[in-house]
Amino acid sequence: MKVLYDNISYKCSKIVTKHYSTSFSFGIKMLNYGIRKHIYNIYGFVRLADEIVDSFHDFEKEILLKKFRKDTFDSIEKKISLNPILNSFQHTVHTFNIDIDYINKFLDSMQMDLNKKKYTEDKYKQYIYGSAEVVGLMCLHVFLNGDKILFDRLKSYAMRLGSAFQKVNFLRDINQDTSELGRIYFPNVSINSFTNEQKNFIEEDIQKDFKLALEGIRQLPVSSRGGVYLAYIYYKTLLNKINNIPASVLIKKRIRINNLYKFILFIKSFIKNYFNLI
Give residue-wise pLDDT tens across range 217-232: 999 999 999 999 999 9
The whole-number pLDDT of residue 89 equals 98
Q: Could you tell me the residue ranges of all domains in the chain? A: 2-274
Q: Is the dihedral of CA 50, 94, 128, 28 positive or negative?
A: negative
pLDDT category at 171 given cuts 50, 70, 90 is: very high
Count Cβ atoms within 10 A of the Cβ of residue 98 and give its class: 0-12 exposed, 13-18 middle, 19 or more buried: buried
| Complete DSSP assignment for 92-137 | HHHHTT--HHHHHHHHHHHHHHHH-SB--HHHHHHHHIIIIIHHHH
| pTM: predicted TM-score of the whole model, two decimal places | 0.96
Separation CA 144–CA 124 (nearest Å) = 29
Give the residue-averaged pLDDT of 186-215: 95
Fold of the CATH domain 2-274: Farnesyl Diphosphate Synthase (1.10.600)
Q: pLDDT (tens digit, 9 = 90+) per residue, 59-79?
A: 999 999 999 999 999 999 999
Q: SS3 for 184?
A: strand
Q: Which of 170, 77, 85 is nearest to 131 (CA)?
A: 170
Going by C-alpha positions, the residue among 121, 239, 120 that lies closest to residue 170 is 239
What pLDDT does residue 132 have?
98
Q: How many residues does the chain have?
A: 278
Q: Specify burial of residue 110 (Cβ count, 10 A radius: 0-12, 13-18, 19+).
A: buried
